[in-house]
Amino acid sequence: SGAFLIGRARAAGADAFITGDVKYHDFFLAERDLLLADVGHYGSEQYTIQLIQRWLGEKFPTFAVLSTETVTDPIHYS
């Protein structure tokens, strides 16, 4: 969770703060002047896989960099 950065976001004048896995009491740190979006652990990390894969491929061009297609998010939205 990036909840420890909520105070810094407010101090910097941010309108919104996006993070994952915020605990119940951390929601109160945002108060009314900051939109706090808790997109979940999986939701906040799924888009970095391709970025990291590309970065590793550039840094280590002789290595095969593979990523899984398996979804392990225990939360299912209907």
Over residues 41-70, the pLDDT tens digits come to 887 788 888 899 999 999 999 999 988 888
With respect to residue 16, please indicate whether it lies within any of the assigned structural domains.
Answer: yes
Q: How many domains does the chain have?
A: 1
Query: What digits encode the pLDDT tens for the residues 18-44?
Result: 988 888 898 888 888 899 998 888 877
With respect to residue 34, please indicate whether it lies within any of the assigned structural domains.
Answer: yes
With respect to residue 26, please indicate whether it lies within any of the assigned structural domains.
Answer: yes
Is residue 55 within 8 Å of residue 43, measured between CB atoms? no
Give the whole-angstrom CA distance, residue 71 versus residue 69: 6
